[in-house]
Amino acid sequence: MSLRSLILHVLWVACLLSCSESRRGASAEDATKDFSMRKDSFRLPEEASSYIERNDVVFDDFFYNFVLDREFRAERIVFPLPVTRFGQMTTLKRKDWKDIASLEDCTIYAMLFSSGADVGAEKDTMITDVEVDIVHLKGDSIQQLFFERKDERWQLSAMRTMRMMAHANRSFFAFYSDFANDTVFQQEHVKNPFYFKTEDEYSNETIEGVVNAEAWAEYCPELPNDVLVCINYGKTILASSERYFVLSNLSAGLSTTLRFRQTRAGWKLTHLENY
């Protein structure tokens, strides 16, 4: 091999080694960047504090988690918990706490309002105290849960068990018990015709009109008929002759509003809205 050929061969090998080193360096740099990006992608979408804050902004979101998550529920009870049972007061220690079966079995809960202006209070960020009534429709007792928002956290602060007849909404609860459990009574207490409103699931267009009371059975939503978990946002006007009864389905994410008006003949359903 001539000297010229030898020199060219050496230069060619050096060039190959240089390119190889360059590629290895670029690959290492790319790998580092890729690892960094992949490492960032494994971060939790929200920190625990953000999760807590998000679920304490409005009571509706908090209560959803309080019902479905036992660990979350246990963290949000103030102990010793003041408990009143038919007028007898006591306190409950953490070690004596037993979960409320009615909440664990809850799939549909209700919200009760006395006017259309109050509907939507579940999204009010200024509310600091809420009462939840667990109404035993086939009995005569109501278990009340009192929640307070302190230091930006919703917590169960007290419980009380009372007779239904001692409750401020006794008239409506007694009516609803019959309405949910007696189909004949139910049919007799539907206005003819009643107003119906819904949203088309395909076009999202609003469908509304009036329906003959005889067709009520086809439109009637699933109604809790044994235990009613009912949220009262503290704005109920006892003198009001109307009740907006909003049902929220925890599993399906559906909402139904039944509107009742009290007449001389008792409460009657006048409107039904499904969303």
Look at the pTM and tell me if it is higher than 0.75: yes
Alpha-carbon radius of gyration of the chain = 31
Count of CB atoms within 10 A of residue 214's CB? 11
Closest Cα to residue 143, out of 128, 127, 158? 158
State how far the Cα of 156 lies from the Cα of 79, in Å rounded to an integer: 9
Q: Determine the pLDDT at residue 110.
A: 94
pLDDT mean across residues, the chain = 81
Q: Count Cα atoms within 13 angstroms, Cβ side, for 72.
A: 17
3-state secondary structure of 233: coil
Stretch among 79-83, 130-134, 167-171 having the lowest mean pLDDT: 167-171
The pLDDT-based confidence of 161 (bands split at 50, 70, 90) is: very high
Q: How many CB atoms lie within 10 A of CB 127?
A: 18
Q: How many residues does the chain have?
A: 275
- Measured between alpha carbons, how far is 131 from 152 in angstroms, rounded to an integer? 18
CA angle, corner 253, sides to 172 and 234, nearest 5? 35
Share of the chain above pLDDT 70, in %: 77
Tell me the pLDDT tens digit for each residue of 221-238: 999 999 999 998 866 566
127 with 233: CB under 8 angstroms?
yes
Per-residue pLDDT at 24: 44
